[in-house]
Amino acid sequence: MAKKAQRKKRRSAQLKEVHIKALNEAQEEFLKMLREEECLIVTGPAGTGKTFLTCSYAANQVAKGRAQKIVLTRPLRSVGESSGLLPGDLKQKMAPWARPLVDVFKQQLSVAQYEAAVASQQIEIAPIEHIRGLTYDNAILIIDEAQNTTPTEMKAILTRVGNNTKVIISGDVEQTDIRHMDNGLAVCVEAFEADMVPLAALFEFTYDDIVRSELCKMWAQAFSELHKK
């Protein structure tokens, strides 16, 4: 019995620490805030490194033993769809939405270590629709694509936060797919600006901070300008 427990412990060993390199001053400041803040709201256009830096930082925190697990959640919604409209079981429904997060971990950790971390529950993918009633202690909770959550969904997630849990709320308010209603990211920013949540901090990337490619930056800026007209 003791030998079985020992083998199980080895299989669920801590994640390895990964290398994180800031590519500009904005990313350096963002990483600094990730280390210092208990709850961080990060906004900005695609290609600024929000997801990559957040997931890499979270992996290192678990590797260093500063958190027990990483919880990933993002809305199962794109242009009005929800998971109930998609075929397959919960894992299959979540896969397309979880891929941007999962790809970072596979790139930084390797596919094998990512899969081992999921098996040992060091990394948990938690669909918003199934998060009610849970409590997350000693964790890093990453809420990605937060602009596509409703305020009700965002409240359901944030009221799951237990002790010693860091929260990162990430998204782009200009890319919401629920323009006919308020979105959870906008409500979080509003609450921050009204100083209603003193433990929260806000970091804002700009179009100048895009690092994915020069073409990505050009198109993002072009659509932003045209959308304003």
Domains of the chain: 38-228 (3.40.50.300)
Only one residue has tokens 């990162």, namely 168
- Asked if the model's pLDDT at residue 52 lies above 70, the reply is yes
Q: Which band of pLDDT confidence, cut at 50, 70 and 90, is reported for residue 174?
A: confident
Nearest to 204, CA basis, from 220, 178, 185: 185
| Distance (Å, whole) CA 7 – CA 5 | 5
Q: Which band of pLDDT confidence, cut at 50, 70 and 90, is reported for residue 97?
A: confident
Pure H helices in 39-89: 50-63
- Asked if the model's pLDDT at residue 173 lies above 80, the reply is yes
* CB of 77 closer than 8 Å to CB of 177: yes
- Mean pLDDT throughout 158-171? 96
| Distance (Å, whole) CA 143 – CA 146 | 6
Answer yes or no: pTM beyond 0.95: no
Q: Residue 4 phi/psi, 5° resolution?
A: -60, -45
- Pairwise pLDDT comparison (90 vs 33), residue with the higher score: 33
**So what's the pLDDT on residue 8?**
41
* pLDDT (tens digit per residue) in 107-156: 999 999 999 999 999 999 988 877 888 999 999 999 999 999 999 999 99
* CB of 61 closer than 8 Å to CB of 18: no
- Pairwise pLDDT comparison (8 vs 137), residue with the higher score: 137
* CB of 157 closer than 8 Å to CB of 73: yes
- Asked if the model's pLDDT at residue 229 lies above 90, the reply is no
- Asked if the model's pLDDT at residue 187 lies above 80, the reply is yes
Q: Which band of pLDDT confidence, cut at 50, 70 and 90, is reported for residue 6?
A: very low
- Pairwise pLDDT comparison (201 vs 5), residue with the higher score: 201
